Amino acid sequence: MEKFRGIVEIFDKCNMPWWYVRVPKKMSGLYAAFADRGLIAVTATVGKNAWPTSLLPFGDTTHFLALPAKVRKANDIKLGDKISVKFEIRKRHSVIP
């Protein structure tokens, strides 16, 4: 399991802003081989909340982790907070037609 700390930021250029934390560039590079169309499937943990998700690409070889409202609420996360995040790679399931 990987662990990092990051600052909570927001994409506010869309109708429904996304809250997120940046994944350190070194980690993006380490797990690039697991990416599928830029997405790296993980199980993320913040506080006591774990959920299946993906590290999403910024488009500059780095990734970010979107923070769902229920996770932010359960952990009293506010914009600008520095939080601890854990994640482990999750196997993606292929769909066979």
The domain that contains 10 carries what CATH number? 2.40.30.100
CA 84 – CA 6 distance, rounded (Å): 7
Assigned domain for 9 exists: yes
Residue-range definition of the domain harbouring residue 53: 2-89
pTM, two decimals, is 0.88
Assigned domain for 73 exists: yes
Assigned domain for 24 exists: yes
Assigned domain for 57 exists: yes
Assigned domain for 94 exists: no
User: On the CB side of 69, how many CA atoms lie within 13 Å of its CA?
Assistant: 2
Assigned domain for 96 exists: no
Count structural domains, the chain: 1
Q: Please, what are the averages of pLDDT over each run of 10 residues along the chain (97 residues)?
A: 96 82 93 90 97 93 95 97 96 59
In this prediction, residue 93 carries a pLDDT of: 59
